[in-house]
Structure 1
Amino acid sequence: MATAFKTEADTDFFTAPYHLSIAGKLVEADTGFDVINPATGQVFAQAPAATAAQMEQAIAGGKAAFKGWAALSDEERQSYLNAFADALEANRDDLIRLLVLEQGKPAQTMAAPEVDQSISWIRQIATRRIPVEIVEETADHVVELHHTPLGVVGAITPWNFPVLLSLWKVAPALIAGNTMVVKPSPFTPLTSLRYGEIAQSVLPAGVLSVVSGLDELGPQMTAHPDIAKISFTGSTATGRHVLRSAAGTIKRVTAELGGNDAAIVMPDADYKAIIPQLFWGAFGHQGQWCVGIKRLYVHRSFHADFVNEFVAYARTVKVGDGLDPSVGVGPVQNKMQFDKLKGFLADIKANGQKIVLGGEIDDMQAGYFFPITVVDNPPEDSMIVQEEQFGPICPIIAYDDVDDVVERANASIYGLGGSVWGRDTQAAVAVANRLETGMVWVNEIHTQGVDVPFGGHKQSGLGTEHGREGRELFTNPKTVLIRK
């Protein structure tokens, strides 16, 4: 049975004062900024706007805590992380409701899994170790490769998955012996502030600080000499600014950036059977995920029937407030993104491209609700094909030749993810191996795990998250050469 989640009118939890968590203390800010519920378009809470001085305090607190935290054993840090996960689980339902209110995603299908996966992720990462590697050994000589913590890590996190994408960074950074300062997106700061408050009750002071504010805090972090690494998730345009700023102190940077992921439905695919997976791969989470399907390529032999079946399925999905358990697609998270999507829609209409579903916005409806919109076979050079929409618009594009569709899929500055769908798994894998992406799925989509490396090619990112490869990026490799 679906859980009936409360609205903001049912409890003070959502509007009660939010605090910065700085060096083990809950700290007030002199000023705040509005947080808007995207389902209503109305302010429902105020978040604290940290000053530059408060960010300095958070970084200094992380620096002061680093030596003691790094000196703990892996098992001691694991115990702390498990206590953090337990404390988050005790607040699970409130965090889910708060996530829906500030982000808009449906509670049952997106917000609850996000919170649950975050808690599980912390517990799983807490068990992972980076062992000392014996690189070379002779009778009188041994070479060891150690991985030592970096120091204070700064995390700058996005508004689409504000809990999961930040705790993906927190857990591996902390288990490796680093301390961390998190700056959440000003569009969705509240769940991060809440987990920051929770963390202060179980983690040593300074190990994890959460500092909300506006755009000026990000450059302060990326340029700061006492931050050893920036882990950033966001747009490619912002990622360029992060890299330029971080260059001044030669700090490490991991950046998970934009994508324009292509899904290729092979000529032999059982296309009717996979339409639900393809629909949710494109329109789940309001289309607001980096590895969502942004371009759907379908073989011309069944393209027309595929579009009809896809649209028929899409018509069964309800768009609405994420607190309604019958809703499958919620509102777009913020007005900036809503207006950007309007720009895509205007371009589609101005160029006479064929909209087979959606395309009309109800300006009388409160909130940032954008209709599920399907565009039939727009040209390859169109805006909706070439650029990342990051919302509930998807083009379905016909192709004739597999070699040609691979070339078209790769003709992008982005290379984050992609997927290939077909009955002949070997043939589908061969196509997948030709895609210039950091992650590619075959006959599935959006499966991930703590041991599965994730990163982008081309302008979709720098470095890797998850897996041993991602965890090692929160450390410095240190070679120790020993004469026996």
Structure 2
Amino acid sequence: MALVEFPTIPDLNHIIDGKRVTTSDRLPVFNPSTGEQVADQAVATEQDVDAAVQAAKRAFTTWTRTSGAERAELLLRFADAIAAEAESFARLESLDVGKPISTAREEMSFYVDPLKYFAGAARLAHGTSLGDVGPGLHSRVEREPIGVVGLIIPWNFPLLEAVWKISPAIAAGNTLVMKVTGVTPLSTTRFFEIAQEIFPPGVMNLVVGNSTGGKALVAHPDVSLVSLTGATSTGKQVAASAAQTLKRMHLELGGKAPVIVHPDIDLKAAAEYLVGTGYANSGQDCTAPCRVIVHEAAYEEFVGHYVDFAKGIQMGQGLDERTTMGPLVSATHRDSVRGFVERAADYATIALGGGAEDGGGYFVSPTVVLDPAQDSEIVQEEVFGPVVSIQRAGNEEQMLQWANDSQYGLAASVWSNDLNVTQRAARELNFGTVWINTHMQVIPEAPFGGFGNSGYGKELSMMALEEFSRYKHVMTQTA
């Protein structure tokens, strides 16, 4: 692997009420490409979280009175400011997560676009009027912001997840406290530093560090809603804690996306696309096409193409321009992924990869697992790494049955040129998003969220604005 020069990162601190707040307790931040420390971050205590919540609570008293047009203007200014630092953000995101710098650059539009979409949505939010409903009685329903919201984001797409949650929360008129993961805090901290130049103090607050800050945010009685993206096990714990104060919850949790491949398509083109998306971000994506179910008539050809394309992946450090797949995010996660593959070797065929790479970073090579049983661990559990299983199915009914045989219901795709086949799949698949002849295509205008152990609630679209709103019925006696 080629060695590249990494930028110097300043120490990272909380941002509360428009100011940087440091702590004596610090945690290191590591570069997943090398395993070396690149920064130092504050560790949020319960007191730090309370200070952030109180700042947001104070700011809400005036922020809630801003018009949709005012919030829209600030969101557009924010989008322009982020776009102006696109290359800097791409490098931070690459260093943070380990993703290829080329991928990080391509993702920048996905960070800016939701800010612009919700700037427009801020001006469209409204209630309803029932008009006169009885003698002298007039009824209306008003939409209101919820208040202080707590946002907790994961490590796999820190900047993207921050944008997805902040954009509708701000557009709806809320103030917020975000807890960013201590594993990947670089890009998000810079994001909040820029926000302080645009939004009033206290509207957007950030705490960094370990899980203590997240737990305190969930338990805080002045936080009216918590929106979490993370593992299903974490979501269950957070929901139980939030229930103690009866706060609203939005959970975007794990996934194990099935891909149904029929024989009537261009199998080589489909394999190329599915390799590109399956190993993107080193497979650390809850919608990654990691569970491929192929009709037996297409199985041998598809597998041949798939393995050939997977062999062409260029592993390397994230900031190396030649890299097409970087490391996993941490040593702990690398070891977890390797454990899945080692166990799978006892019951399935490892057609490619599975090993760790030398060089000091947290690398696992692209892995293809063939013919695992439907009830096997590699099929049923979320690996969250560069590991794809491919199963051989006898007919359409079995393909749909296997696809739905999962605790997760986030996303799925079906590949066929037969409209009847694809529409049956769209109807039968028990997933919040179903893609047809594509995968991992997400736009701000369409809702994103799953069923079952993938959580509840929606991100993106006007539905996300509803997640961050409450409704009040006002009845007036006019005569």
What TM-score, normalized to structure 1? 0.94
In the aligned structure 2, how far is the partner of 1:259 from the partner of 1:398? 21
User: 2:156: which partner in 1?
Assistant: 160
Asked if residue 189 in structure 1 is aligned to residue 189 in structure 2, the reply is no
User: 1:295: which partner in 2?
Assistant: 291
**C-alpha displacement of 1:141:** 4.7
Other structure's SS at 1:433 match: helix
User: 1:51: which partner in 2?
Assistant: 45
5 Å-filtered alignment, 1:410-425, equals 410-425=404-419
| Structure 1 ranges of 4+ moved more than 6 A | none
Q: 1:242 aligns with which of 216, 238, 243?
A: 238
User: 2:396: which partner in 1?
Assistant: 402
Q: Does the CA-based 8 Å contact 1:115-1:163 persist in structure 2?
A: no
In the aligned structure 2, how far is the partner of 1:26 from the partner of 1:329? 34
Asked if residue 122 in structure 1 is aligned to residue 115 in structure 2, the reply is yes
In the aligned structure 2, how far is the partner of 1:100 from the partner of 1:281? 17
User: 2:224: which partner in 1?
Assistant: 228
5 Å-filtered alignment, 1:285-364, equals 285-351=281-347, 353-362=348-357, 364=358
Q: Does the CA-based 8 Å contact 1:420-1:429 persist in structure 2?
A: no
What TM-score, normalized to structure 2? 0.95
Query: Structure 2: 5+ residue runs without aligned partners?
Result: none
Q: Does the CA-based 8 Å contact 1:18-1:194 persist in structure 2?
A: no
In the aligned structure 1, how far is the partner of 2:130 from the partner of 2:324? 52
Q: Does the CA-based 8 Å contact 1:152-1:228 persist in structure 2?
A: yes
Query: Structure 1: 5+ residue runs without aligned partners?
Result: none
- Which amino acid counterpart does residue 284 of structure 2 have in structure 1? Q
In the aligned structure 2, how far is the partner of 1:106 from the partner of 1:407? 36
In the aligned structure 2, how far is the partner of 1:97 from the partner of 1:48? 22
Deviations 1:96-140 (A, max 9, x none): 11111111011112x123333212211221111212223465585
- Which amino acid counterpart does residue 117 of structure 2 have in structure 1? Q
Asked if residue 78 in structure 1 is aligned to residue 76 in structure 2, the reply is no
Q: Does the CA-based 8 Å contact 1:70-1:178 persist in structure 2?
A: yes
**C-alpha displacement of 1:42:** 1.2
Q: Does the CA-based 8 Å contact 1:163-1:191 persist in structure 2?
A: yes
- Which amino acid counterpart does residue 82 of structure 1 have in structure 2? L
Deviations 1:404-456 (A, max 9, x none): 12111111111110000101133212112101111111111111122211111
Q: Does the CA-based 8 Å contact 1:332-1:368 persist in structure 2?
A: yes
- Which amino acid counterpart does residue 125 of structure 1 have in structure 2? F
Assess, with a 3 A threshold, how the Cα gap between structure 1 residues 392 and 418 changes in structure 2: closer, same or farther: same
The total of aligned residue pairs comes to 473
Other structure's SS at 2:279 match: helix
Report the aligned-residue RMSD. Answer: 1.7
Q: 2:24 aligns with which of 13, 26, 30?
A: 30
Q: Does the CA-based 8 Å contact 1:114-1:161 persist in structure 2?
A: no
- Which amino acid counterpart does residue 129 of structure 2 have in structure 1? I
User: 2:439: which partner in 1?
Assistant: 445
User: 2:34: which partner in 1?
Assistant: 40
Question: Which shifted more, 154-163 or 186-195?
Answer: 186-195
User: 1:370: which partner in 2?
Assistant: 364
Other structure's SS at 1:350 match: coil
- Which amino acid counterpart does residue 14 of structure 2 have in structure 1? L
Asked if residue 107 in structure 1 is aligned to residue 106 in structure 2, the reply is no
Other structure's SS at 2:158 match: coil
Q: 1:219 aligns with which of 200, 215, 218?
A: 215
- Which amino acid counterpart does residue 301 of structure 1 have in structure 2? A
